[in-house]
Structure 1
Amino acid sequence: MEVARRVGRAGRVAGIDPGRQQIARARAKAARRDVPIEFQIGVIEQLAFPDQTFDVVFSTLMVHHLPAPLKRQGLAEIARVLKPRGRLVIADFTHKKERQDQAARFHAGGSRMQNLAAIVSDAGFESVETEEMQPSRFSSFPGAGFVCAYKS
């Protein structure tokens, strides 16, 4: 929703998820807010878009679910649908073993940002940067990190 707000009516925003319920929920939420987003059922390893479609691909809180071979396959698909010098932004939970206090009990496994950055770099992306958000001390939120890069 935030991405659609930022690009405005002149931009195009598409969202994919393999789950029918998640897509239905996202469509309903976008409709309530009158936000024009194209949602479709899909998987990262086979994106249903032509080559060089997008300026930016933003992946949110899902990469930790993927085994390494699927991450590499998905990054190749992302590179395919990105325009030259297109930007990749991955947001994911921090790795479970790096959490403390209440956040250590959060269910999602998470990603080590440096490992994720290495996979992104190995996939041929350039100017790879990472940033981590630390949770507040008494929060059950596990913290998150970002990997940003550009298609070479």
Structure 2
Amino acid sequence: MAQVTFKEKPVTLMGNEVTVGSNAPDFTVLANDLSEVNFSDYKGKVRLISVVPSIDTGVCDQQTRKFNEEAANLGNIEILTISADLPFAQKRWCAAAGIDNVQVLSDHRDLDFGKKYGVAIEELRLLSRSIFVVDSSDTVVYAEYVSEVTNHPNYEAAIEAAKSAN
């Protein structure tokens, strides 16, 4: 399991680590209108999953904006940003930030995504910063568990993995 810290203190990640070459687990999260969204809804497409602890924080804001900007260059790649924030907060933040090229989804209800991808932080009920790229046949082709939750992920590596999988 990935060793992760939050503000330099170790945290416990619930679930199983997802590794490159494994089949991407299906999961259910909520859209900003409270409708259920299943990962399988995007079947047959390359998907980049950007995981942030809280959309309202500096690094999470920058990470989401970065992938929103990159979406135009990535063509037919679905970009999903997932956090444990309430859907209402996500909707408000997206409207204020002008986020319209990525799907921002909530794992608040039952941490289904967080537990299936091994990113749910037990002590905080937040998701640990991470990036996953899944190809059109549902194989994980890139997985990054950021070792310090307050740090940025490797944007370039994730973007290259998504482009290569397309």
Q: Could you tell me the TM-score, scaled by structure 1's length?
A: 0.33
Q: Which has the higher helix share?
A: 1
Q: Could you tell me the TM-score, scaled by structure 2's length?
A: 0.31
Q: Which has the larger radius of gyration?
A: 1
Compare relative contact order (CA 8 Å, sep 6+) and give the higher one, 1 or 2: 2
